[in-house]
């Protein structure tokens, strides 16, 4: 781990709506995540965990405060620049796998590379490499509905890593899995985090899994913390 911050948030504020319907979700958040760190984000439902990941993942913008990725202030970036930075730097995994039903596992994993302009053969070869890395060598030709929930999530993790991101953002990646599968998928993320030299932020409700990370950031309001 080095001390170089990959994510730095200072006084970040984000809410939804205006006037009497406004809900302020993130109220002046300070967060620093350094290169190589594996950080768990916890807290009760509705506290703003997904909102935080959307901000860090450049899917949404802070209303105020400062957010830097790799030392770059992201506020002045255009939509296009944000998309470029996101595609190059960030891999996402969500609670639902969002695999495309009509593509087999290999082509799902290869999709980000094809969109980025890679030739089919090179993209598929990288996809097979990643399928092996997530323990699914030999399943490349399976379609999502021929895979178990745990396997579908493994394919989604492989897809998130296709572009060799530096930052992995996972929003309750084991939330739909039974306990054994949740532990296995979580351990897979931890293994890949180390192997690929990632910096990772993982939202989880599971405190046992959160404790396996380098650090836990609990978003629960002070009064609700146990």
Write out the residues near ligand ADP by the rule CB under 6 A: 16-17, 23, 25, 43, 45-51
The SS3 assignment for 160 reads helix
The closest of 82, 49, 70 to 6, measured between CA atoms, is 70
Q: How far is CA 61 from CA 54, 70, 93, 142, 164, in A?
A: 8, 17, 19, 37, 24
Closer to ligand ADP by Cβ: residue 11 or 46? 46
Closer to ligand ADP by Cβ: residue 59 or 72? 59
Burial 116-134 (b: 16+ CB within 10 A, else e): eebeeeebbebbbebbebb
Closer to Mg ion by Cβ: residue 49 or 193? 49
Closer to ligand ADP by Cβ: residue 26 or 105? 26
Give residue 199's Cα distance to chain centre: 10
Residues 30, 210, 133, 127: is their CA dihedral positive or negative?
negative
The SS3 assignment for 59 reads coil
- Count, residues near Mg ion per rule CB under 5 A: 2
Give residue 15's Cα distance to chain centre: 21
Smallest gap from Cβ 146 to ligand ADP, in A, equals 31
Smallest gap from Cβ 87 to Mg ion, in A, equals 23
Closer to ligand ADP by Cβ: residue 43 or 144? 43
The 39-78 site mask, x for binding Mg ion (CB under 5 A), equals: ----------xx----------------------------
Smallest gap from Cβ 17 to ligand ADP, in A, equals 6
Question: Residue 16 touches which of ligand ADP, Mg ion, none (CB < 5 to 8 A by kind)?
Answer: ligand ADP
Q: How far is CA 190 from CA 134, 186, 207, in A?
A: 11, 6, 15
Smallest gap from Cβ 172 to Mg ion, in A, equals 6
Q: How far apart are CA 224 and CA 226, in angstroms?
A: 6
Nearest residue to Mg ion, using CB?
50
Smallest gap from Cβ 201 to Mg ion, in A, equals 13
Question: Residue 25 touches which of ligand ADP, Mg ion, none (CB < 5 to 8 A by kind)?
Answer: ligand ADP
């Amino acid at each position: 781990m080095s001390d170089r911050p990959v994510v730095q948030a200072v006084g970040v504020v984000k809410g939804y709506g205006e006037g009497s319907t406004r809900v302020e979700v993130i109220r002046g958040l300070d967060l620093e995540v350094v290169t190589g760190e594996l950080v768990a984000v916890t807290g009760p439902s509705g506290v703003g965990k997904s909102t935080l990941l959307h901000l860090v993942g450049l899917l949404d913008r802070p209303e105020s405060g400062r957010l830097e990725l790799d030392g770059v202030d992201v506020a002045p970036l255009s939509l296009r620049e944000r998309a470029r930075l996101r595609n190059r730097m960030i891999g996402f995994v969500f609670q639902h796998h969002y695999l495309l039903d009509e593509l087999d596992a290999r082509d799902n994993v290869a999709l980000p590379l094809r969109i980025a302009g890679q030739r089919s053969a090179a993209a598929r070869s990288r996809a097979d490499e990643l399928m092996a890395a997530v323990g699914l060598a030999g399943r490349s030709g399976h379609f999502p509905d021929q895979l178990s929930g745990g396997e579908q999530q493994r394919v989604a993790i492989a897809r998130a890593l296709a572009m060799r991101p530096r930052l992995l953002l996972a929003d309750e990646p084991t939330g739909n899995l039974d306990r054994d599968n949740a532990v296995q998928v979580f351990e897979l993320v931890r293994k890949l985090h180390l192997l690929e030299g990632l910096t990772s932020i993982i939202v989880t409700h599971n405190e046992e899994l959160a404790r396996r990370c380098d650090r836990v950031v609990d978003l629960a309001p002070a009064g609700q913390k146990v």
